[in-house]
Structure 1
Amino acid sequence: MNPTFIQDSLPFEEEATVFADLILPVPVPRLFTYRIPRVLSGLVKIGARVIVQFGKNRVITAIIAKLHTSPPSGYQAKYIMELLDEEPLVMPSQIELFRWMSEYYLCTIGEVMNVALPSGLKITSQSKVQYNPDFAYDQLLTEQENILLEEIKKHQALSYDEIGRLVEQANVPALIKSLVGKRAVILFEQVKERYKPKVVRKVRLTAAYEHDEALLNLLKNLEKQPKQQEVVMRYLSYIPVQNNPALNQKGLEKSVFAQEGERLDSSLKTLIKNQVFEQFEFTVSRFADLPNSPAAEVNLSVSQQKASRQIQDHFQDKEVVLLHGITGSGKTEVYIHLIKQALESGTQVLFLLPEIALTTQIVVRLRKVFGDEMGIYHSKFSDNERVEVWKGIIEGKFRFVVGVRSAIFLPFTDLGLIIVDEEHETSYKQYDPAPRYHARDVAVVMAYMHHAKVVLGSATPSLESYFHAQSVRYGLVEMFERYGAAALPEFILIDTKLEKKQRKMKNEFSSVLLDYMEHNLKHSEQTILFQNRRGYSPYIQCDECSWIAHCPNCDVSLTYHLKAAEMRCHYCGHKEPVPRTCPNCGSPKVKTMGFGTEKIEDELHLIFPEARVQRMDMDTTRAKNAYQQIIQDFENEQIDILVGTQMISKGLDFDKVSVVGIFDADRMIHFPEFRASERAFQMITQVSGRAGRRAGKPGKVLIQTHNPHQELLRWVIENDYRRMYDTEIVEREQYGYPPFTRLIKLIVKHAERDVSQRAAQALAQKLLDELGQSRILGPEPPLVERVRNQFLFEVLIKLEREKINFKAAKTFIQEKVTDILTDKTLKNVQIVVDVDCM
């Protein structure tokens, strides 16, 4: 396929008047108008993908957003180079959602498209060099140019990389440029679509051997070729064509014969060559090997039935219902009941989860009920797997999808229900790149567009959602008892300050926690330990001169990772080996300070050498199936102690967990951020909810703290969400924070600190002049002032929900941001706009 030649052959008559407005995946705030060639007239549809040339050399994928007959003003419309889809892959409702997101989150529609489409639906282009058949050798070529031209003629076309391997010259681009100038070669873009269906190679008997007599003769003739005879016998053991010749059409995967080694595989090749077998390819689903089982019945308890009825009652006059159910109350069973009702009514369902850590257990549970009707969509899946789900929804294969935040972009056409589980989770917020959206909030807008209903579920709802429920904007359903007579865990506060005084602490472990863990090990019970900081140690320090290892690109200390024997920056990824002596004073007294999950795991191996310890954090779950494997091992009781970060706090359900230990609770509670109390309450409550989920076996939650008398810990122990909410909501109203205001954070970046500060001050002043002092905070440097060698300053805008036109205010803010970006005295300044910042 050569799009350049397609373009050259297009008609350029003025009567060709059909145009398409396209969404291009570029950060430019507009659509681009292209002309539709006559050969494609009548074939293009809104939502289909096309290939277009953008700029001089760039070839990209675009989406048709509008068809019309008005030529663009100010520029000559280029032709669409190629149509990729006969039927649209992006629905009109999706394009409407893209537009809304670009307006609400102050980004471009192209940025939304770029995040929305899985990479497998976007086109890659690669520059290639081709011999020019019109070249007449009337210009003198160098020896190197002659050699290269002959290679290009021999191969028809070569990429830059291929030329680099063939030609012994450092400056390949200069050589190609010279050949282009002499008109000896032509440059073009070879365009490839990334998605490829999963194909399995199969074999089957040729028609001549489908019947009994022919098969008997074949086996007799192969008596002197025992390996070939074995191949035929193996095929018949899987596909008994002698009983039913029609089975032969399905064939058998070639991999079955490779299992016995090369010799059997070689015999199969001989039989294919002799036309006993024929080879063919079969397209299969990438989800064929996911756990599946016959449909399982879900029996709701009395309280679950009541909750389900109340949700349905609220749906009569409310679009959104908040399901506030304590940990272990059985919210998942209520979700399943609602999903079944929605699917029976003929509509589609989207079930959002905050992290892929949750999908492993829940997918298995949901598959038992919904089987192959359910699709799964998350970032650990390959591009091809995500494209398969995308196309499966359009084709009607998947009417129910479980996914993480990016699943809101899937091409639903008849959405009836959206469930957002653990709706309070910060994982639903995208921070980079734009759009910096919150999936929960987008889900509510998306449901409105589809005339669908939304259930927001959580044991610890966000203050915003609970406020909307109290204001009767959302329906509210509450479940305050655990499913199956399981009791809430007992809390034990451990005063680490006192333990240190009494010298009872063993590194980071209190004597009380160690006693309970030892008891658990003796009685074959499991333990979960929570520390919301990965790595071995947050930083390394010299005992003599107090030197601390810092990242050269960011204003943060480097985290020490023991197993990798290196120090890492968790902001930019910079890595360094661990110094044997202090680089500042030369002292060998360099030691680790503080502790992360890796250090806890390491110490547990020393304290309990017989225990089976596993760590679950970002470092141990990078591989595709790592989450699944760890959770499966823990579920199968192959792990005694699971150490992890916040990913162990979310929705996991293990019968044998009777002790949960929480480290460093004080750091969460006193974090310098207005949501600190809310988030600490949510985190501690959620982690605590993993304990004692078995009837008749209440769990223990041990919280290590320097101050056991903190009010927030009392709210957690008493499971008093309402007290936390009532206290926090008063402060939020008093100081003008959500849900009473909307926050927009403007982050100004530049490689020079003074330029970044000047730009931030100029921006803040422009905003102050119109919005007033009370609505503008800053500019101030954030906690981490420099990231990736860019100095940051933040301006926080607080806009009242009731007193101000939010849309008009955002338009004004965008104008002032543009003023700074186009100021020639502030070159290379970047400004990140984060609407509804967390």
Structure 2
Amino acid sequence: MSSYTASLFEEEVTYFADLILPVPVPNLFTYRVPRGMDELIKVGARVIVQFGKNRVITAVVSRLHTQPPVKYQAKYILELLDEEPLVTAHQLELFRWMADYYLCHLGEVLNVALPSGLKITSQSKVQYNPDFDHPDLLTEQEVMILEEIQKHQALSYEEIARLVEQTNVTGIIKSLVGKRAVILFEEVREKYKPKIVRKVRLASEYASREAVNALMVALEKYPKQQEILLRYLSYVPVQNNPDLNQNGLDKSVYSQDDGLSDSSLQTLLKKGIFETFEVVVSRFADLPAAPAVEIKLTESQQLAVRQIQTYFQEKEVVLLHGITGSGKTEVYINLIQQALDSGTQVLYLLPEIALTTQIVVRLRKVFGDRMGIYHSKFSDNERVEVWKGIIEGKYQFVVGVRSAVFLPFDSLGLIIVDEEHETSYKQYDPAPRYHARDVAVMMAYLHGGKTLLGSATPSLESYYHARNGRYGLVEMLQRFGEAALPEFLLIDTKLEKKQRKMKNEFSSVLMEYLSYNLQNSEQTILFQNRRGYSPYIQCEECSWIAGCNNCDVSLTYHMRAAELRCHYCGHKEEVPRTCPACGSTKVRTIGFGTEKIEDELQLHFPQARIQRMDLDTTRAKNAYQQIIQEFETEQIDILVGTQMISKGLDFGNVSVVGIFDADRMINFPEFRASERAFQMLTQVSGRAGRRAGRPGKVLIQTANPSQVLLQRVVQNDYLGMYEAEITERQQYNYPPFTRLIKLTVKHTDDETSRRAATQLADKLIAEMGRSRVLGPEPPLVERVRNQFLFDILIKLEREKINFKAAKTFIQEKVTDILTDKTLKNIQVVIDVDCT
């Protein structure tokens, strides 16, 4: 037998793919690669597969091989979506590390990482059954529906609902299925849609100077058609350059002009003088182009750049400790430029969307359209464009918030984490419960790049690592130019109340400065880290407090919306006119939030232009940008806000910053309270006096001006705060000397939740010891969304314990509880590096 004949009898190789499915399951699933797809499919590409009986989902190829699964029959991959992978090898490696480090499933990482626009959806549709032969069984309405289905080949549930003018058509469709008149199927469609612009242009035979002149003469009898042509030539001067005709003109130009006749344009199209065509355009093409500028560094900034570069020769991470207003951004820009010039990519992380508004304008002046922007206020389609733009090489540099760590870079040379101390970098729900700063460090390591952490008030962990040589440490302790640090005034609210000088929440000193600023056309920022009008309402007679039905918290009063809201589960209620408990009309608001401050300011200063910036006023896509732009152009006199106004914003005309309720931040029952209060107070104070020659004032209202932390804030004594806190952390075994893992046990029954938490804690204590396992204890808010919570806190020493082995043990014990048949429906949330 010849070798050729023998090869005909050889068995063809069957390929299988291990897929990451965006679902919370521990294992990858193996699917069979159809014939014809085996030459095209690649690791990192998206595919469509059936999961379960009726579910069609998007998965990502993790591995290709020839080993069929042992314990189940492999289903076929339904469709290959990408000719080239949309998920890189670096990303897959990072996703695996995150799943392992944060004790979650790989599918959970993928689900958070992929923009929704890259996930396929399926929609139920109804089609005619060709074997149907009993039309006499149908009602009149069903006959009409069936005729429409046959006319359009298939209809969705929504289309049938519109046809019969009913909201719920499940019963009708069920009847048609039962009579075997229709068949249900899932239509799979991709969410991402490119932006398409319809354009018009002259037909090619008219795209010359001679042809245009002849056309003008021919259209003299038709002035409206001639006007259409003239408008086109005003935008596209074909007479001067016929090549311009190829790009055409947006059709919307004509629809926006009321003086032009649409019917005249349609006539020119029918005559073949004009033609229409479509082009795919970027959704970011409308962003205003900024004139290029050159950044010139001061001597201190040049020194900082040199020190960072020197450290990068031997260290993976450098911490830049620069006080507020020291000019860290210019240092970042210089380093970004150098990284891009070397041919590598750069990621610049910011903690808040609000910050991107101001910093992006500055960065676009330097980097133009080489820079992409990525944050959660973008639409699904906009995020997909940035994702694909990175893969196609359009964006070498991206500015983004926490979720930007998931982007498909392939040659990252530098990651900058600005305001690295910010809690906004930590994701709490859903899994993975990651910290973007720590993921960024690992991400840079996987790419062979470097990480620069920047902050005026570094986290204790980062500063500890820098002081102990693990990170490089560069410090900028002078403000940029001739700007001076602000002057602090601690206002004793206890004394003011005793002397009856307080006007509700405003001290007499703060009122004086507000009046002075308004008279002198200078701006003020007022900081209260609590939104809403009032934290709760209470009956003066019986002390009843409005509480959430689903959570053990009071409902926050929002005056503008005239409702009570739960900030945990979103529950809303009308404001009661009388007390539901005793019937009294003496129901009053207690405490104050940003909305109440704004309301009282309007009463005290009716002529002032006042704006509020918190979660409630910035829900719309461009709300941040609008508020910041109005404040920057001095259309706002007083800006009231929560923590989002404290982070890195730069306004030259702000001379006064007022801080309410500092005591609540300092005395919060949490081991990081002092550190975070110092950071918050210092950061918001840094918004004042950023212009040379105009020192700012920071007014802190407190019932205890002598407390040590406030004195350190006034003296800008970060080192004093650090040394006091680090001594206490070491004494009580808290980070950076230990790693913390929090386990939160949840159940709708209080006793079941308590019992499961106790059993889990006992299992952990038996192996790890009581000194390492604290709890179980109910958290500050014991019930959320009708689930009772118990926390177990695990402390693992950095030096003495194998962290990976400890996490494996913890995962095993959690699995024991989840599989215990006496503890049905128990949930356990694992939060690694929980604070």
What TM-score comes out, normalization by structure 1 length? 0.96
Q: Quick check: 150-159 or 761-770, which moved more?
A: 150-159
- Please tell me whether residue 467 in structure 1 is matched to residue 473 in structure 2: no
Counterpart amino acid of residue 529 in structure 1: L
CA shift for structure 1 position 208: 2.2
CA shift for structure 1 position 189: 1.2
CA shift for structure 1 position 426: 0.3
CA distance 1:166–1:253, change in 2 (3 Å) = closer
CA shift for structure 1 position 262: 7.3
CA distance 1:481–1:750, change in 2 (3 Å) = same
Counterpart amino acid of residue 84 in structure 2: E
Structure 1 distance, partners of 2:115, 2:719, is 41
The number of residues matched between the two structures is 826
For residue 826 of structure 1, the aligned residue among 823, 827, 830 is: 823
* CA deviations over 1:613-634 (Å, ceiling 9, x no partner): 1100001101100000000000
Q: Which residue of 1 aligns with 2:269?
A: 272
Matches within 5 A, 1:389-468: 389-468=386-465
Note if contact 1:292-1:364 (Cα within 8 Å) is conserved in structure 2.
no
Counterpart amino acid of residue 297 in structure 2: L
Counterpart amino acid of residue 808 in structure 1: A
Counterpart amino acid of residue 674 in structure 2: S
Q: Which residue of 1 aligns with 2:614?
A: 617
CA distance 1:493–1:99, change in 2 (3 Å) = same
For residue 386 of structure 1, the aligned residue among 378, 383, 398 is: 383
CA shift for structure 1 position 586: 1.5
* CA deviations over 1:439-497 (Å, ceiling 9, x no partner): 00000011110000000000000000001111100000001000001100000000000
Structure 2 distance, partners of 1:434, 1:554, is 21
Q: Which residue of 1 aligns with 2:6?
A: none
* CA deviations over 1:24-49 (Å, ceiling 9, x no partner): 00100111101111121200011000
Note if contact 1:139-1:182 (Cα within 8 Å) is conserved in structure 2.
no
Structure 2 distance, partners of 1:55, 1:522, is 69
Note if contact 2:690-2:696 (Cα within 8 Å) is conserved in structure 1.
yes
CA shift for structure 1 position 581: 1.4
* CA deviations over 1:375-404 (Å, ceiling 9, x no partner): 000000111111000000001000000000
Q: Which residue of 1 aligns with 2:243?
A: 246
Structure 1 distance, partners of 2:260, 2:343, is 53
* CA deviations over 1:644-693 (Å, ceiling 9, x no partner): 00000000001100000000000000000000000000000000000000
Matches within 5 A, 1:197-212: 197-212=194-209
CA distance 1:274–1:793, change in 2 (3 Å) = same
Structure 1 distance, partners of 2:166, 2:502, is 66
Note if contact 2:228-2:260 (Cα within 8 Å) is conserved in structure 1.
no
Matches within 5 A, 1:207-606: 207-261=204-258, 263-606=260-603
Q: Which residue of 1 aligns with 2:129?
A: 132
Structure 2 distance, partners of 1:215, 1:251, is 15
* CA deviations over 1:712-763 (Å, ceiling 9, x no partner): 0111111111110100011111111111111111111111111111111111
Note if contact 1:291-1:364 (Cα within 8 Å) is conserved in structure 2.
no
Note if contact 2:13-2:66 (Cα within 8 Å) is conserved in structure 1.
no
Structure 2 distance, partners of 1:63, 1:29, is 15
Q: Secondary structure at the match of 1:298?
A: coil
CA distance 1:633–1:134, change in 2 (3 Å) = same
* CA deviations over 1:157-216 (Å, ceiling 9, x no partner): 122333344469998545545654665433221011111111111111111221233322
- Please tell me whether residue 771 in structure 1 is matched to residue 768 in structure 2: yes
- Please tell me whether residue 726 in structure 1 is matched to residue 719 in structure 2: no
Counterpart amino acid of residue 467 in structure 1: Y
Q: Which residue of 2 aligns with 1:4?
A: none
- Please tell me whether residue 23 in structure 1 is matched to residue 16 in structure 2: no
Structure 2 distance, partners of 1:799, 1:509, is 46
Q: Which residue of 1 aligns with 2:679?
A: 682
Counterpart amino acid of residue 109 in structure 2: V
- Please tell me whether residue 187 in structure 1 is matched to residue 192 in structure 2: no
Note if contact 2:419-2:454 (Cα within 8 Å) is conserved in structure 1.
yes
Q: Which residue of 2 aligns with 1:10?
A: none
Structure 2 alignment gaps of length 5 or more: 1-9
Structure 2 distance, partners of 1:169, 1:328, is 61
Structure 1 distance, partners of 2:343, 2:736, is 36
Q: Which residue of 2 aligns with 1:835?
A: 832
Q: Secondary structure at the match of 1:189?
A: strand
Structure 1 distance, partners of 2:178, 2:398, is 54
Q: Which residue of 1 aligns with 2:4?
A: none
Q: Secondary structure at the match of 2:220?
A: coil
Note if contact 1:490-1:700 (Cα within 8 Å) is conserved in structure 2.
yes
Counterpart amino acid of residue 452 in structure 2: V
Q: Which residue of 2 aligns with 1:806?
A: 803
CA distance 1:215–1:146, change in 2 (3 Å) = closer
Q: Secondary structure at the match of 2:815?
A: helix
Q: Secondary structure at the match of 2:189?
A: strand
Counterpart amino acid of residue 756 in structure 1: S
Counterpart amino acid of residue 763 in structure 1: L
Counterpart amino acid of residue 558 in structure 1: L
CA distance 1:705–1:171, change in 2 (3 Å) = closer
Q: Secondary structure at the match of 2:771?
A: helix
CA shift for structure 1 position 134: 3.9
Note if contact 2:21-2:59 (Cα within 8 Å) is conserved in structure 1.
yes
Structure 1 distance, partners of 2:447, 2:58, is 27
* CA deviations over 1:325-371 (Å, ceiling 9, x no partner): 00000000000000000000000000000010100110000000000
CA shift for structure 1 position 218: 2.2
CA shift for structure 1 position 61: 0.3
CA distance 1:282–1:171, change in 2 (3 Å) = closer
CA distance 1:426–1:579, change in 2 (3 Å) = same
Q: Quick check: 366-375 or 293-302, which moved more?
A: 293-302
Counterpart amino acid of residue 372 in structure 1: D
* CA deviations over 1:95-134 (Å, ceiling 9, x no partner): 1111110011111000000000000100111112222334
CA shift for structure 1 position 826: 1.1
Q: Which residue of 1 aligns with 2:7?
A: none
Matches within 5 A, 1:779-790: 779-790=776-787
Note if contact 1:291-1:367 (Cα within 8 Å) is conserved in structure 2.
no
Q: Quick check: 825-834 or 87-96, which moved more?
A: 825-834
Q: Which residue of 1 aligns with 2:106?
A: 109
CA shift for structure 1 position 137: 4.7
Q: Quick check: 111-120 or 133-142, which moved more?
A: 133-142
- How much is the aligned-residue C-alpha RMSD, in angstroms? 1.7
Q: Secondary structure at the match of 2:805?
A: helix
What TM-score comes out, normalization by structure 2 length? 0.97
Structure 1 distance, partners of 2:210, 2:398, is 50
Counterpart amino acid of residue 309 in structure 1: R
Counterpart amino acid of residue 686 in structure 2: G
Structure 1 distance, partners of 2:131, 2:362, is 65
Note if contact 2:227-2:260 (Cα within 8 Å) is conserved in structure 1.
no
Structure 1 alignment gaps of length 5 or more: 1-12
* CA deviations over 1:538-565 (Å, ceiling 9, x no partner): 1111111111111111111111111111
Note if contact 2:122-2:187 (Cα within 8 Å) is conserved in structure 1.
yes
Structure 2 distance, partners of 1:171, 1:424, is 50
